[in-house]
């Protein structure tokens, strides 16, 4: 997504795509790192309207698309794709236990086989031909980046219904994507009050609304004949961005181009596989290579990337079963103590290295990053160690790629106790939420809304249980290490006192 000086259209707004990739061990950015294909780049975007998410009500959905479990629209999609050049498939769309709809093996599939072979002509990219060329010309003249360009393209094609070549594809897309973009602010505040994902969801909604506001003010309002507000509005943009967050992939063998790949985007995620979508030059199609075998009738999976359960809920609207996600993590917020005599000096050291007085670091079942330990050393360090503040801040920022074995034995117990205190404070928040009835922003007499409320509460509960589990594990490790350290100190002190008595 190129940045341009001729537009203020959030040129850096490039939400992460589906793909496995390098999982950064330090602080999580505003967005999940990757999605269903190959590495995505995390981005930040300012917003034109920060208060908008709080005002938005639950949407009834757009006038196109289908219910998430619809097989009829999926069958029509398959017929259209085959008529348009998709080769014979060894997979079929069926209703599945994981993901509502999914691709299921029709025949025995061996490990290492290439599947799908979706031709590039059936892939939606920033270069796709617009059914209304004059609309596309305006967008491209204004150098709109790929993400908002494709989002606008989807809406434009969807509004044309049967006259768009993509009508069968759009009809098979969910009318309301499973995404936190579709949670109201009241729902986020009530159900995700204990989870760090709440803030990331609010920021994501704010960024999408800000992007829409820029497009409206700089392009749509000046070409209202091409961009009528009844079609190009915040609800349709929330829908199109919801589709992009959950389905857009980056294809490394096509120079990293981002794309929507019909048929392939019916594949669901499993943490047990690592295969992802890419362009195969030999067959000239979008494929993935199986990394396990499948029996007829068995659902076939790809990886959306090494994502935490919170990231999967944020973009895709589901939470893996507790204990099944090996990539699970939870962000731990740590802060400097404002009453610390060295607060100003520590803060300056952090700022020089791109950090602030409060930072989040990912905890995993397997442990915590060295950057968190460095930050904790800085927090607890006394005034006589002020000359070490800078090296601690550098280590906490992950700027030193060589990662020397820094350690401050005299501070280790205090640093571990600091992290433990932060963990236990977070555990208390999760426990309060989970044991407090899980809250509800409103009581609805509408059956559909009541079912939605039950679904959201269950998703939030599952996420909080998974995240609290990691905190409990970290708490256990920290307590045991501190006990061993203090036990060793007591033994050493006892030995020392014994020796003193011996020589008296």
- Ordered by start, the domain boundaries in the chain are 71-316, 329-503
Give residue 368's Cα distance to chain centre.
20
**Is pLDDT of 450 > 60?**
yes
Q: DSSP class of residue 222?
A: G
**Is 304 within any annotated ligand binding site?**
yes
* pLDDT more than 70, % of the chain: 82
Q: What is the mean pLDDT of residues 252-273?
A: 94
Q: What is the mean pLDDT of residues 106-118?
A: 97
Determine the pLDDT at residue 179.
Answer: 83
Each residue of 172-194: pLDDT tens digit?
A: 999 987 789 989 999 999 999 99
Cα(277)–Cα(47) distance, integer angstroms = 32
Determine the pLDDT at residue 220.
Answer: 98
Residues sharing a CB contact under 8 Å with residue 231, sequence separation 6 or more, in sequence order: 155, 156, 159
**Is 247 within any annotated ligand binding site?**
yes
Determine the pLDDT at residue 210.
Answer: 97
**Is 182 within any annotated ligand binding site?**
no
Please list the alpha-helical segments (H only) found in 160-283: 167-172, 185-191, 197-218, 234-247
Each residue of 206-249: pLDDT tens digit?
A: 999 999 999 999 999 999 999 999 999 999 999 999 999 999 99
* pLDDT more than 90, % of the chain: 73
Each residue of 293-305: pLDDT tens digit?
A: 999 999 999 999 9
Angle at 100 (CA atoms; ends 94, 102), nearest 5 degrees: 40
CATH superfamily, domain at 71-316: set domain protein methyltransferase, domain 1 (3.90.1410.10)
**Is pLDDT of 280 > 80?**
yes
**Is 316 within any annotated ligand binding site?**
yes
Each residue of 115-159: pLDDT tens digit?
A: 999 999 999 999 999 999 999 999 999 999 999 999 999 999 999
Determine the pLDDT at residue 17.
Answer: 53
Determine the pLDDT at residue 201.
Answer: 97
Each residue of 39-65: pLDDT tens digit?
A: 333 322 333 333 344 344 444 569 999
Q: What is the CATH number of domain 329-503?
A: 3.90.1420.10
Cα(311)–Cα(481) distance, integer angstroms = 30
Determine the pLDDT at residue 176.
Answer: 85
Each residue of 290-345: pLDDT tens digit?
A: 999 999 999 999 999 999 999 999 999 999 998 899 999 999 999 999 999 999 99
Determine the pLDDT at residue 447.
Answer: 84
Determine the pLDDT at residue 200.
Answer: 96
**Up-side HSE of residue 304: CA atoms within 13 Å toward CB?**
30
CA trace torsion 282, 22, 195, 353 (10° rounding): -140
Determine the pLDDT at residue 67.
Answer: 87
């Amino acid at each position: 997504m190129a940045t341009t000086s001729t537009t203020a259209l959030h040129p850096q707004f490039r939400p992460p795509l589906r793909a496995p990739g390098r999982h950064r061990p330090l602080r999580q950015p505003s967005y999940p790192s990757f999605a269903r294909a190959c590495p995505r780049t995390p981005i930040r975007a300012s917003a034109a309207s920060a208060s908008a998410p709080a005002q938005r009500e639950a949407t009834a959905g757009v006038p196109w698309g289908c219910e998430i479990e619809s097989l009829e629209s999926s069958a029509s999609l398959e017929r259209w794709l085959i008529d348009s050049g998709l080769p014979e498939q060894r997979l079929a769309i069926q209703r599945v236990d994981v993901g509502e709809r999914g691709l299921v093996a029709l025949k025995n599939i061996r490990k290492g086989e290439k599947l799908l072979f979706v031709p590039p002509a059936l892939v939606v990219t920033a270069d796709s031909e617009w059914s209304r060329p004059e609309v596309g010309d305006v967008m491209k003249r204004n150098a709109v980046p790929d993400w908002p360009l494709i989002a606008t393209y989807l809406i434009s094609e969807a509004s044309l219904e049967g006259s768009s070549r993509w009508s069968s594809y759009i009809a098979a897309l969910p009318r309301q994507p499973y995404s936190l973009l579709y949670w109201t602010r009241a729902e986020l505040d009530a159900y995700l009050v204990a989870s760090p994902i709440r803030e990331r969801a609010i920021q994501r909604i704010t960024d999408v609304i800000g992007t829409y506001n820029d497009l409206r003010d700089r392009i749509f309002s000046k070409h209202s004949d091409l961009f009528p507000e009844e079609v190009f509005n915040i609800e349709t943009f929330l829908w199109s961005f919801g589709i992009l967050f959950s389905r857009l992939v980056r294809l490394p063998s096509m120079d990293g181009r981002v794309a929507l790949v019909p048929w392939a985007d019916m594949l669901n995620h499993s943490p047990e596989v690592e295969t992802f979508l890419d362009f195969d030059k030999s067959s000239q199609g979008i494929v993935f290579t199986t990394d396990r075998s499948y029996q007829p009738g068995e659902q076939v999976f790809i990886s959306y990337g090494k994502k935490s359960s919170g990231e999967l809920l944020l973009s895709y609207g589901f939470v893996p079963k507790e204990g099944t996600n090996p990539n699970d993590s939870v962000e731990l917020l740590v802060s400097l103590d404002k009453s610390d005599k060295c607060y100003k000096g520590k803060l300056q050291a952090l700022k020089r290295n791109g950090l602030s007085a409060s930072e989040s670091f990912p905890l995993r079942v397997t442990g915590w990053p060295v950057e968190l330990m460095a930050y904790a050393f800085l927090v607890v360090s006394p005034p006589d160690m002020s000359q070490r503040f800078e090296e601690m801040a550098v280590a906490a920022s992950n700027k030193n790629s060589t990662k020397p074995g820094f350690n401050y034995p005299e501070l280790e117990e205090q640093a571990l106790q600091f992290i433990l205190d932060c963990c236990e404070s977070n555990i208390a928040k999760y426990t309060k939420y989970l044991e407090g009835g899980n809250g509800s922003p409103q009581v609805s007499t509408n059956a559909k809304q009541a079912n939605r409320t039950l679904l959201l509460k269950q998703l939030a509960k599952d996420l909080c249980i998974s995240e609290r589990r990691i905190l409990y594990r970290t708490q256990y490790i920290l307590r045991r290490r501190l006990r061993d350290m203090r036990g060793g100190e007591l033994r050493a002190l006892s030995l020392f006192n014994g020796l003193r008595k011996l020589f008296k």
